[in-house]
Structure formats: structure tokens, C-alpha cells
Homo-oligomer: A and B are copies of this chain.
């Protein structure tokens, strides 16, 4: 089964796109050191809507990055935790986050300079 370079490239891009998603990063970040319930995640990931939290978690579950554990009973309880695979992603993302942190000031400064040098057209 031949697999073209194109396919591989597109798959990797897809994965990077997943990682680049802001909600994904925030959610994975929150699961760093402990498992959390749906409601806890909803509270701790500031600004996320119920819908987006659900979608993000589903995708992460589908990709094998988090586990979803339903505890029977009333009220219902669903817990989310990182898998081993999810942990390796966390490491990589953390590294990238450190790049972002480390160069944040530089980038902001560049933007400031660029924006003053290229004023918005009047319109």
C-alpha cells in the first residue's frame, strides 16, 4: 500500500492544525497533572462554550489523547484524563509554548514597529 508524500504531509498538517487549535491546547494543559470532570474543565478553561468543550474532548478522545470515563449514578459523572500518548503531546506542546513564551516580547515588539511603520489606510 503505497502512501504518497502528499498524503503524509496532509496528515501531519492535520495533526498540527489540531494542536494549533486554541481550545485543544488549553484543555490538554489543564489535564496536565490530574483528571478533571466535564464541569471542572468548563469552569477552568476560561471562555470556552459547552459546545466547543464537548467537540474538543471528542476529538481528543477520537485521537487517543484523552480517556473518557463515565461513572454510573445520579448525578452523572464523566472524568477526562490524558493518555500516555496525550502526555507525549503535552511535552511537545509545552516545548512550543516555551518558545512562544521566550520570544513573545520580541514578536510583540516587531508587531508594534511594523504597525507604526505601516499605518492603516485611511478609508
Contact = CB atoms under 8 A, between A and B. Distances in A.
A70 interface: no
A26 interface: yes
Number of copies: 2
A100 B63 CA distance: 12
A8 B105 CA distance: 10
The prevalent SS among residues of A at the interface is helix
Q: How large is the interface on A (under 10, 10 to 19, 20 to 34, 35 or more residues)?
A: 35 or more
Nearest to A19: B20
Contact of A85 (B16, B64, B103): B103
Interface in A88-103: 88-89, 92-93, 95-97, 99-101, 103
Given A16-B100, A64-B107, A88-B103, 18 more contacts: A11-B100, A11-B108, A12-B97, A12-B104, A13-B25, A62-B110, A63-B107, A63-B110, A64-B106, A64-B110, A64-B111, A65-B107, A85-B106, A85-B107, A85-B110, A92-B99, A95-B95, A95-B96
User: Which A-B residue pairs are the 8 nearest by beta carbons?
Assistant: A20-B20, A64-B110, A15-B100, A92-B99, A62-B114, A12-B100, A13-B22, A63-B107
